Amino acid sequence: MNSRGADSVGAEGATVSLEANKAIARRFLEEVVNKGNQAVADELVAVDFVDHNPLPGLPPGREGFKLSFVAFRGAFPDMNYAIEDVVAEGDRVVVRRRATGTHRGELMGIPPTGKHIVVAGVDIFRVKEGKLAELWLSWDQLGMMQQLGVVPLPNARA
């Protein structure tokens, strides 16, 4: 943003680019995460993708990133990301979302609990040449573990 307002640098071209980048992130979350369509990941994610918060033991790049969603979909077959906000600037797209799902399969050694979870998170994607190139994410891992009953809630005292 500059003194002339949002997206006025390059005017229409900048706006189109930001909207295109937002559409890529939305499509990834809706089709790959929510529907489990791995073919769309091959289309939208760069081969040399960098996940700055990878699951332990997964290979780098697009293949490791795809495997992380396979693992979560196996644990939460009804997993759904509700997109709450999407903001873009430059080559970055920020998505605030709420994940829901029912724990029906093993997750990182945790046997299925049958419990439903609701977990907030923020994803920051870098888009390069029409593909997702990097991801930084922050999500409520502790809250998820507490909802699953793996980590106890703190004692509530008056």
pLDDT (0 to 100) of residue 156: 55
Q: Which of 121, 59, 126, 39 is nearest to 88 (CA)?
A: 126
What backbone torsions phi and psi does residue 113 show, to the nearest 5 degrees?
-110, -20
Fold designation for 12-148: Nuclear Transport Factor 2; Chain: A, (3.10.450)
Measured torsion, CA atoms of residues 131, 134, 40, 91, in degrees rounded to the nearest 10:
-40
Specify the length of the chain in residues: 158
* Cα(15)–Cα(88) distance, integer angstroms: 10
**Per-domain boundaries in the chain:** 12-148
* pTM for the full predicted model: 0.86
Where does residue 11 rank: exposed (0-12), middle (13-18), buried (19+ CB within 10 A)? exposed
Where does residue 104 rank: exposed (0-12), middle (13-18), buried (19+ CB within 10 A)? middle
CA atoms within 13 A on the CB side of 49: 26
From first to last of its 158 residues, the chain has per-residue pLDDT tens of 433 334 434 445 566 699 999 999 999 999 999 999 999 999 999 999 999 999 899 999 999 999 999 999 999 999 999 999 999 999 999 999 999 999 999 999 999 999 999 999 999 999 999 999 999 999 999 999 999 999 998 875 54
Q: Which helix (H) or strand (E) holds 107?
A: none
Calculate the alpha carbon distances from 122 to 49, 68, 104, 140 in Å: 18, 17, 24, 9
